[in-house]
Every structure is written in structure tokens, then in C-alpha cells.
Amino acid sequence: MRRAVLVAILWLIPAAAAFAGPPFLTDDPVPVDYHHGESYLFSSGTREADGTSGVGPAVEFNYGPLPDVMLHLIAPMAYDTPEGESSHFGYGDTELGIKYRFVHETDVIPMIGTFPLVEIPTGNEDKGLGNGEAQWFLPIWLQKDFGKWTTYGGGGYWINPGPGNKNYWFSGILLQYTFSENFYLGGEFFHQTADTVEGEDSYGFDLGGSLPLVNDFQILFSAGRGLTNTSSNEFSYYIAIYRAF
């Protein structure tokens, strides 16, 4: 069964602007608990051959209004520092989503869920702080636990309108080891097809995890880079202060 799950995940594999399962790009199907929530204060970014861009400070908020359902919001400040040009800083694109878990994990069946997202074009496109048009992500995510080991992954389709843009696939798979409730380490491998007419497919990886702080706060972190088409991802990072409630 384990092999079948991994094959299903890899079959979906055909850097997105949006954020997935912090601190990683690959997401899981696990919503927050019913009538509970979680918040992140974070920054993330990518160094490319022609400059660096990202968000921070940014706030993510998730809440479970119903069993197996999670409402999602990201409100970011964005930055763009092109090589040899003026830097820009301001409010970026707002992200909204709903995560829904429709299959619970058993001894043999993985957990399965979906997490549609929309990127609302609230950032200034001319200053490199937003896309200029709404983007939509339609994914399927799977997860299976094996003792202290967890693997999750899947992928989906980005609807990416705009001059020179094209729709694309994003997918990934992650393996994670849990030392304690607030301490885990993991790594992901992801793939994205070209998101522009003249773009290229890309593969990449991230390594990261969570470290406990005080009063139920945690530090989430990851760092990685592209393995192909490296000019679009020479280095990427994510860092956050996280708390569930």
C-alpha cells in the first residue's frame, strides 16, 4: 500500500508565488481542528539571477469553522529588488483558500484532501509586488504516517492569466521525522512546469522543520534551491513564528 501511495503522488508530478504547507511548498490534507486556529508571522523569498523578491512581514491565519474544513488567509507585505534597479516595498497579493479533508487516514488508506486557493491581485504589478490578475490553484493532497515518519504530497493546476503567462502544474513530495509535538525535520522535492510562454520546467528541493520556543510558540524554517533552471531559484527561504490556538 505504501508503494501505491507514493506512486499516486509521483504520478501527479508533471516555485509558486503562493505558500503551501509552511515551512514547505508541498502541502498536506490536514486542516486545523474544529473551532481552533493557527497563525504565522513570516517572511519568504527567492534569489534569482536578476534579483530577489518575496514577502515579509506577512501574516497567515487559518481557522476551522467546521469539522474537516479550514478557512485560510495570507496578508503580505511584498518586496522586489531587481539587479541594478530601484527596490520596491508594499502590500502584495492577498491569498484566500478553503482546505477540505474528505478521506481520513486508516491503517492502509492515506488521508486525502483538497485546498483550492485564489491569489487576489492587491499588489502593484508595475512595481513587481503582485501578479496583476487573479490566480487560482486546484490541488489534491495525500498523507500517510508510519510511526514517527510522515510522508505527504500531491499537486495541482495553477490558472495563471496575464500577458506572457501560461497555466502550469505544481507538485511535490515530502518526508518528515517527528521528534516531539513541536520539533520535526523534513525535506521536500518539487516540480513546476513553465508558468510563462518562454519559461522552462523546474525541479527543486527544500530542507526545514520546526523548533519549539516558549508558551506554545514555534519557529518554522526552510531553505533550498532549484535543481534545474537554477537562474529562477538560486536560493529560497522561509522563516516564521507560529502558534496554534
DSSP state of 167: -
Kindly give, in sequence order, each residue whose CB lies less than 8 Å from that of residue 164, ignoring residues fewer than 6 positions away.
196, 197, 198
Grid look-up 522552462 returns 200
Q: Which amino acid is at 89?
A: F
State residue 59 phi and psi, 5-degree precision.
-125, 130
pLDDT number for residue 164: 92
The alpha-helical segments, DSSP class H, found in 13-47 are none
Q: Residue 127: its pLDDT value, please? A: 95
Give me the tens of pLDDT residue by residue for the chain, a chain 245 residues long: 444 433 333 333 333 334 458 999 999 999 999 999 999 999 999 999 999 999 999 999 999 999 999 999 999 999 999 998 999 999 999 999 999 999 999 999 999 999 999 999 999 999 999 999 999 999 999 999 999 999 999 999 999 999 999 999 999 999 999 999 899 999 999 999 999 999 999 999 999 999 999 888 999 999 999 999 999 999 999 999 999 99
Residue type, 144: K
pLDDT at 181: 86
- Give pLDDT, residue 3: 42
Q: How many Cβ atoms sit within 10 Å of the Cβ of residue 231?
A: 11
What is the enclosing helix (H) or strand (E) of 4? helix 2-12
Residue 146 CB partners (closer than 8 Å, separation 6+): 2
**Could you give the CA distance from residue 12 to residue 9 in angstroms, rounded to a whole number?**
5
Indicate the pairing of strand 111-114 with strand 135-146. antiparallel
Task: Report pLDDT for 49.
Answer: 92
| pLDDT for 17 | 38
Global pTM exceeds 0.85: yes
14 neighbors 126 (Cβ within 8 angstroms): no
Question: What's the pLDDT score for residue 21?
Answer: 83
pLDDT on residue 80 = 97
Q: What is the pLDDT of residue 135?
A: 98
Cell 495541482 belongs to which residue? 156
| 88-91 and 51-66 beta bridge pairing | unpaired
What number of CA atoms fall less than 13 Å from residue 157's CA on the CB side?
A: 4
